[in-house]
Amino acid sequence: MKYAYLFSAIALLVTPIAATYAQLVAIPTRTTVEALDQHRTVQVYNSGDKPLYLDITLQRVDNPGVSPELKTLISDITQPEMIFNPNRITLGPKQKRDIKLLSLKVPAQETLYRLYINPVVDIKAVNNKEDDKKIHAPVTISIGYGVLIHHVPSLAAQTRHWQHHCSADGTIVLNSTGTVHSKFAQLKSGDNPKLTDSLNLYPGTPVTLSAKQLTGEADNETFTVHCG
């Protein structure tokens, strides 16, 4: 009986959340803001027949290209380079609205952000074991709809360069020395067949690879690296 109630409670939680998430559409899911561009927006659309209540947050990714990501809320940054508006939205059925991305400062190098759009569902879990002892526990559950935002310097200031060094423990460390990220593809290593075959290397975030030899393409140019 105890487990049957538990499964019922879980079903009550999951069903409205899934339905709410399905009716939310955000376009685009990835965008680029150049320098002080004030015209970038993310459009949210309610494709369902019930109102949507959205909570929106912006987080800076402090280690882009690395997993797991370390993020900082914009509200926790003393002098943010990017903000947004609004932070809460109510969408009626079939209604759409724009979230404005506002650049406050030209970044010295590419910075990555995630805009989380959370449909909030208020759910009351009810224990029907005894009608006169019903337990109403309000629970607020949200699901993040993440939009990736690249904040980059002006086009004239964008450069793509990288370098490597061989660490003492026999690994290869890649560093971006440009102002925007470099794309690595078709990566192969004879001493590590499980090595990732692609990655993005961002300024300020080195990537360490467990390999002594590496071949592939960086920004569409072939390269070979040997360590030891």
pLDDT (average), residues 81-99: 97
What is the assigned CATH class of domain 159-226?
Answer: mainly beta
Q: Does the pLDDT at position 182 exceed 90?
A: yes
Least confident of 40-49, 69-78, 124-133, 142-151: 124-133
Nearest Cα neighbor of 59 from 114, 119, 117 is: 114
Least confident of 52-56, 72-76, 137-141, 143-147: 137-141
Least confident of 12-16, 90-94, 112-116, 209-213: 12-16
In this predicted structure, what is the pLDDT of residue 153? Answer: 99
3-state secondary structure of 228: coil
Q: Does the pLDDT at position 53 exceed 80?
A: yes
199 contacts 214 by C-beta, under 8 angstroms: no
Range 154-173 burial, b when 16+ CB lie within 10 A, else e? eeeeeebebebeeeeeeebe
Identical fold for domains 2-155 and 159-226, yes or no, is yes
160 contacts 180 by C-beta, under 8 angstroms: yes
Distance CA 177, CA 189 (A): 23
Q: Does the pLDDT at position 127 exceed 60?
A: no
Domain extent listing, the chain: 2-155, 159-226
Query: Where is pLDDT greater, at 143 or 76?
Result: 76
pLDDT (average), residues 17-46: 87
Which residues are bridge partners to 201 per DSSP? 182
In the numeric block, the tokens 């960086």 are attached to 218
To the nearest whole number, what is the mean pLDDT of the chain? 86
Query: Where is pLDDT greater, at 204 or 7?
Result: 204
In this predicted structure, what is the pLDDT of residue 228? Answer: 74
In this predicted structure, what is the pLDDT of residue 170? Answer: 87
pLDDT (average), residues 110-136: 69
- The C-alpha torsion from 128 through 129 and 134 to 138, rounded to 10°, is -60
Q: Does the pLDDT at position 46 exceed 90?
A: yes
Homologous superfamily (CATH) of 2-155 is: Immunoglobulins (2.60.40.10)
In this predicted structure, what is the pLDDT of residue 11? Answer: 40
In this predicted structure, what is the pLDDT of residue 20? Answer: 53
